[in-house]
Structure 1
Amino acid sequence: MLLTIFLAIVFSAAITIMLLSAVAFIQKKEFFASAPKEAQEAIQPRENELFYGARVIGWTLMIFSILMIAGVGVISIWNGFRSDFTFWQFFLRFVSIFTIYKLYDMICFDYFLLMKFQFFQFYFPEVKSVYSGRKYGYNIKSQLLKLFVIFPAASALAAWICTLF
């Protein structure tokens, strides 16, 4: 279980690096497809880099975060195979990683970074009006749907696939 918690922390850190690279360095409008429609419409395309080399740094961080996420998947599955995990052990590992990540996402990203510290609004000031007056950043219904339906279903599917081998 300790490895699962460690992998969830690494997964959350990888997503944090991905967010930082997309928002602060790369600044491509296409990366914000999960933002509310009003915010997507308000975002102005950034033709110029924030500073010389910002996009190179951003893409390097993005690739690093993708490799970290892949590493979490490989290690969690490999360790499960090595330890002769059952379906329920794989399921518990996957759903724990996803649940810890989603709670981190909802609390740290949506509430603190977006609403309290206005991290996104600092880099994209044109969306300040979209988020003013909100108590929570993104659609809470879609977040809860992922937490209680999509991630458990994906975890069950992944656990089932792992037990086939």
Structure 2
Amino acid sequence: MITTLSALAAVCLLSLAFILIIPCFAATKIFMRFLPRDIREAAKTHPDPSLGRQIIGYLMTALAAAGYVGLLFFLGADGLRRGYGFWLLFGRFMLFLYGYKLFDILVQDQYIVITRKYYVKFYPETKGCKSWDDRSFNTKNQMIRLIAFPFVCALMAWVTLLIGR
């Protein structure tokens, strides 16, 4: 349990650092695709960072994704080392994914994006957009993930056992 919670804390910190830093490095079109339509429209004319900064942004994105996947592999390998069966691995992956999703919804989406309006600092042309106050802007995507997680976790547990034994 401590290992799973430590991995969860690590991925949350990695994700937090990433979302706070990436606006300085990402191309506007790529960064804005995660935000509502009116914000994307308002930011259309925002200049992209230099090519060098964008390359750094792509590298940071790749490192963050590798860190996330690496933690999942670590949790699976550690579970095998400890002799976990399907249900313990499944529970571990569920705790990890749902814990991260809770952090994503409450801290990243609701607090940083909506309450603090953090990205308005980087994209001032989006200041008057109504979606900055819409707490349900990402509900459909979040619900799809929340519904898919048990199936994803079952698949990850099964693949982990298949590979590890």
Q: TM-score, normalised by structure 1?
A: 0.82
Q: Supply the RMSD in Å over aligned alpha carbons.
A: 2.5
> How far is 1:135 from its partner?
4.7
Matches within 5 A, 1:141-156: 141-147=140-146, 149-156=147-154
Corresponding residue for 1:17? 17
Corresponding residue for 1:117? 116
Residue 30 in structure 1 maps to residue 46 in structure 2 = no
Matched residues, percent identical? Answer: 25
> How far is 1:100 from its partner?
1.0
Q: Distance in 2 between matches of 1:28 and 1:135?
A: 21
**Structure 1: gaps of 5 or more residues:** none
Q: Distance in 1 between matches of 2:45 and 2:22?
A: 13
Q: Aligned partner of 1:107: which letter?
A: L
Q: Distance in 2 between matches of 1:82 and 1:152?
A: 23
Q: Distance in 1 between matches of 2:148 and 2:155?
A: 11
Q: Distance in 1 between matches of 2:86 and 2:40?
A: 40
Corresponding residue for 1:163? 161
**Cα distance change on mapping 1:130 and 1:47 into 2, 3 Å:** closer
Across the two proteins, how many residue pairs are aligned to each other? 163
Matches within 5 A, 1:3-152: 3-44=3-44, 46-49=46-49, 54-55=53-54, 57-131=56-130, 134-136=133-135, 138-147=137-146, 149-152=147-150
Q: Distance in 1 between matches of 2:108 and 2:158?
A: 31
**Cα distance change on mapping 1:114 and 1:83 into 2, 3 Å:** same
Asked whether the equivalents of residues 85 and 161 of structure 2 are also in contact (C-alpha less than 8 Å), the reply is yes
Q: Distance in 2 between matches of 1:26 and 1:142?
A: 22
Q: TM-score, normalised by structure 2?
A: 0.82
SS of 1:164's equivalent? helix
Which region of structure 1 is more displaced relative to structure 2, 117-126 or 38-47? 38-47
**Cα distance change on mapping 1:31 and 1:132 into 2, 3 Å:** closer
Asked whether the equivalents of residues 94 and 159 of structure 1 are also in contact (C-alpha less than 8 Å), the reply is yes
**Cα distance change on mapping 1:118 and 1:11 into 2, 3 Å:** same
> How far is 1:57 from its partner?
4.5
Asked whether the equivalents of residues 43 and 124 of structure 1 are also in contact (C-alpha less than 8 Å), the reply is yes
> How far is 1:134 from its partner?
2.3
